Structure 1
Amino acid sequence: MTPTTNSPTRHRLLGDQTWRADAVCQSTEYNPVDPEIFFPEPDETDKITAAKALCNQCPVRRTCLDAALEGGDADGIRGGLTEEERQPLHEKIADRLDYSRVNDTIAGRDIHLTKAERRAVIRAAFRHGVTEQRLARLLKISEEHAQKRYRELRRALRNRDLKQTETATATPEVGGERLGRDDFGTAA
């Protein structure tokens, strides 16, 4: 099952690193932070606890975690999670489906999408009558590729409808024998 969310968060644009200025881990003259605290050895539990405590106060914690997962960062503590805690998320990132990210993309925002989210954008765009040219711009693909994606989606929808029709009109069976029209008796 694909994990889905529908959170109202503002998503990071492709290549956007401006969120780092709001991160608690950024060392300033008034808030000196040792960056080594975020790269502890597995047995340094005091450093891990201190780093997670800072992350828990951070206003961009979710964005930091998303950036680490999307960028494949496997080292250090990012978004309040250790390398070991992020590992299962790294493995499942391609299947993440966040509808707020899909909606932001349809609205024209240039955000990082997973494979599942890209498929959802194609379905939503098709359902809302978005042209192939606009879909191509949204997903940064060629118009020919957008046409191909719409063709594949139309074929999948048609095949799904055909399967539903076959299931609905299938002849019932009792005891392994197919029942015909005469086996149901007459209506009173």
Structure 2
Amino acid sequence: MTTTTISPARHRSLGDHSWQDQAVCQSTEYNPVDPEIFFPEPDETDKITAAKSLCSQCPVRRTCLDAALEGGDTDGIRGGMTEEERGPLHEKLAHRLDYSRVNATIAGRDVHLTKAERRAVVLAAYRHGVTEQRLAWLLKITEEHAQKLYRETRRALRNRDLEQSKQTTSSVETHGERLGRDDFGTAA
């Protein structure tokens, strides 16, 4: 099942780690934080509770969780979730379809995309008349690959339209016979 969201989130760019400066878990002179509390053993419930308490106050918790999922981090508490809690999210990540990420990419932002989101970017770019060169730049692919993706998109849309017209035609038929003008009666 595909998860679809349209939240107006601000997504971090690929390779951007500047969000970590705003994280509550960053130890400072005035706010000493022991990083070990974010890597507790399964039976250390006090450390887990303390780490989750800090995460609940963090302004970049969602970004931290996204970074952990996108980077494949399976160790420690990230984004307010333990390794076990993030497990199902790791499995579903490839199917995520977040239109705010798609829109951010079309606008030129360099954000992490899942396979489903990449397909949505190609379809949106095709429908909006984005050039193959621009699509190649947006997805960091060659122009030849962008041309191929557009050909596949054109073919898929054409086949979908043909299938829809077949369904419309078959709904007008009765028992395999085509209905004529006289079969509908006359208007009073």
Q: Classify the TM-score, shorter chain.
A: over 0.9
Match of 2:43, SS state, is coil
Match of 2:119, SS state, is helix
Contact 2:173–2:179 (8 Å) recurs in 1: no
Letter of the 1:181 partner, please give it. L
Looking at structure 2, the residues matched to 130 and 88 of structure 1 have their Cα atoms a distance apart, in angstroms, of: 35
User: Aligned Cα RMSD in Å?
Assistant: 1.5
Match of 1:4, SS state, is strand
* TM-score between the two structures when normalised by the length of structure 1: 0.94
Pair 1:122-2:115 in alignment: no
For 2:17, the equivalent position in structure 1 comes to 17
For 2:47, the equivalent position in structure 1 comes to 47
Letter of the 2:12 partner, please give it. R
Contact 2:8–2:100 (8 Å) recurs in 1: yes
Looking at structure 1, the residues matched to 45 and 109 of structure 2 have their Cα atoms a distance apart, in angstroms, of: 40
Letter of the 1:74 partner, please give it. T
CA distances 1:130-160 after superposition (whole Å, capped 9, x unpaired) = 0000000000000000000000000000000
Pair 1:101-2:101 in alignment: yes
Q: Which runs of 5+ in 1 are unaligned?
A: none
Contact 2:38–2:48 (8 Å) recurs in 1: yes
Pair 1:8-2:16 in alignment: no
For 1:181, the equivalent position in structure 2 comes to 179
Q: Which runs of 5+ in 2 are unaligned?
A: none
The runs of 4+ residues in structure 1 deviating greater than 2 Å are: 177-188
Contact 2:101–2:117 (8 Å) recurs in 1: yes
Identical columns (%): 76
Letter of the 1:58 partner, please give it. C
For 1:148, the equivalent position in structure 2 comes to 148
* TM-score between the two structures when normalised by the length of structure 2: 0.94
Match of 2:26, SS state, is coil
